[in-house]
Amino acid sequence: MARELIKEARSEIVVLSLGAAGALLATAEGFQRFGPIEVPVRSTVGAGDSMLAGIVLSLVRGRSIEEAVCFGMAAGAAAAMRPGTELCSRQDTERLFAQTCRPVNVCTG
């Protein structure tokens, strides 16, 4: 479906959260799969919103799309570490980004 959205020019970039399995980035150049960031999960409420916010913030700051997905994943994982509906912390997000996030699989086409 991501490939179709891009092929039909309905989107240039598609990022799909895979939850505890990581994320998938789709562009016209191909796909990249990002492995999970393993953290102690207290609540997943707001983790997807935090991921999206982290991606947008990173892009506004001039980072590459790959770095932005990693930062977004770090923000989502940091949110999952918090109880209830608490937001992710900047300190946790930056630490997780620096320590763990890298693409694990690249597929072109």
Q: For residue range 24-35, what is the model confidence (pLDDT) as tens digits? A: 999 999 999 999
Domains belonging to the chain, first-starting first, are 2-108 (3.40.1190.20)
Provide the b/e sequence for 73-89 (b: ≥16 CB within 10 Å): bbbbbbbbbbeeeeebe
> Which residues sit opposite 85 in a β-bridge?
none
Count of residues for the chain? 109
49 is catalytic: yes
pLDDT grade for 2, boundaries at 50, 70 and 90: confident
Q: Out of 49, 66, 67, 94, pick the active-site residue.
A: 49
Query: Tokens 């209830």, residue?
Result: 84
> Which residues sit opposite 26 in a β-bridge?
14, 31
- Decide if pLDDT at 42 tops 90: yes
Distances (CA, A) of 40 to 63, 77, 78, 82, 95: 27, 9, 9, 9, 15
